[in-house]
Amino acid sequence: MRVLIIGSGIGGPVAATALRRAGIDATVFEAHDGPGTNLGAHLGLAPNGLAVLRSLDLLRPVLEAPGTLPSSRIEFRDGRGRIMGRLSDGSTELEPELRSVSARRGVLQTVLAETAADLGTTVEYGRRLVRHTDTGSEVIAEFADGSVERGDVLVGADGIHSVVRRSLFPDAPAPTYTGLLDLGGRTPNAGAPPTPEDTSRLIWGRRAFAGYQTAPDGDAYWFVNVPHPELTREEIAARPDSEWKRFALDLAIDRTGDLDTVLRASEPRLFRPRGVYTIPTLPHWHRGRVALLGDAAHALPNSSGQGASMAMEDALVLAMCLRDSDTPERGLAAYERIRRGRVEAIIEEGTRRGDLKLVTHPVGVFLRDRLLLPLVFRRAAGAGGHSPVFDHRVDFDAPVAT
């Protein structure tokens, strides 16, 4: 069996590795010209996602990659520096190597792609899919450079703006803007007071939500999410980066000045924002010989911190289902059946909490910071940080009932 995987973000290379382990031939096609090493933003990886990496021998390279930081605790503050709550992922009870970390997105993608390649899969860069056809007996993928590939199964791991999803379900609604712009990255020698060990600091400012963590070498990893009307790429590019930096500083997110120290030390290019998008629940994640995984299939609420881990879990289960099924169609149906309930429960939980990052009215901010969030943090801390989300494990060697 030959599987064509579109996208070498997070889910794509993990799927390729898992398929290879299952004895199935897989090739990844990525639109970008090379590994995304320059993608500076950081990504939180939860214990359940790390467990997927461990089952495929991908964990060590990720933990040892430059910029990976232990990050199993979160300290929440309001804009005046008052501590609103602290959360831990319960990692004192977890095996040490499964404690949450934060990793540089670009480095993570590169490490995953390189390890997949070492295991005998191929990642082909500069291959942008434009459309696909499922003939019933094979899939045909057509690329922007005019080239064509044929395989038995096609997997869309091509993210929130998935071309595979559009081609598979032309009536599916387009991604919708969440109302937030996101910006941030890594600032060497930021000069900010160090964050407590193993802890990222998240700040609910009056006009924006932000977070940062300092590494032992003094580098700071940071982001800002700001409510804003939707902007096109052209509109964002029309404003110089220095103006975007001014814009971020003017939000006066952290009145203690600690975040400002990081922002002031940061290169202007890190302030160029991008819109955060989501997709409504799809009626199906697969049809015939084609399936979606990760953000192409489902978009988790922005603050769930589970997007990458869900893409990795999807990838593992999809490989197991193709391994244990007599036909690709049955395998993909089993994959969707196994994964849908878990993913949708996490989406529902996040949506119920609502997106508090969009609140900017002073009364709303007061209620959020004084009543709602402290209650949420107390409840979560009472649960010891352990949750069915973090504790979930997929046993790759166990046979799947397809």
Ligand X SMILES: Cc1cc2nc3c(=O)[nH]c(=O)nc-3n(C[C@H](O)[C@H](O)[C@H](O)COP(=O)(O)OP(=O)(O)OC[C@H]3O[C@@H](n4cnc5c(N)ncnc54)[C@H](O)[C@@H]3O)c2cc1C
CA distances from 116 to 13, 40, 119 (A): 6, 22, 5
Q: Which stretch binds ligand X (CB under 6 A): 132-140, 196-204, 304-312, 322-330?
A: 304-312
Position among 19, 21, 27, 30 found at the interface with ligand X (CB under 6 A): 30
With binding defined as CB under 6 A, does residue 306 bind ligand X? yes
Residues written for the chain: 402
With binding defined as CB under 6 A, does residue 32 bind ligand X? yes
With binding defined as CB under 6 A, does residue 101 bind ligand X? no
User: What is the nearest approach in angstroms of ligand X to the Cβ of residue 80?
Assistant: 25
Residue among 242, 12, 27, 52 at smallest CA distance from 120: 27
With binding defined as CB under 6 A, does residue 6 bind ligand X? yes
Query: Residue 339 carries which side chain, given as an amino acid letter?
Result: R
User: What is the nearest approach in angstroms of ligand X to the Cβ of residue 309?
Assistant: 5
Q: Are 170 and 177 in contact (CB under 8 A)?
A: no
Give the x-and-dash track for 276-295 against ligand X (CB under 6 A): x-----------------xx
Give the x-and-dash track for 242-281 against ligand X (CB under 6 A): ----------------------------------x-----
The rounded Cα 108 to chain-centroid distance in angstroms is 11
Q: Are 141 and 132 in contact (CB under 8 A)?
A: yes
Give the x-and-dash track for 171-200 against ligand X (CB under 6 A): -----------x------------------
333: alpha, beta or left? (left if phi > 0; alpha if psi -120 to 50): alpha
Query: Residue 300 carries which side chain, given as an amino acid letter?
Result: L
Encoded tokens for 154: 């096609």
Query: Given the complex with ligand X, which of 185 and 402 has the nearer CB atom?
Result: 185
Q: Which of residues 307-336 bind ligand X (CB under 6 A)?
A: 307-309, 311
What angle in degrees, to the nearest 10, is found between the helix axes of 307-324 and 47-55? Answer: 40
SS3 for 276?
strand
With binding defined as CB under 6 A, does residue 9 bind ligand X? yes
With binding defined as CB under 6 A, does residue 208 bind ligand X? no
Encoded tokens for 173: 């609604």
Binding site for ligand X (CB under 6 A): 6-12, 29-32, 43-44, 128-129, 157-159, 163, 182, 276, 294-296, 305-309, 311
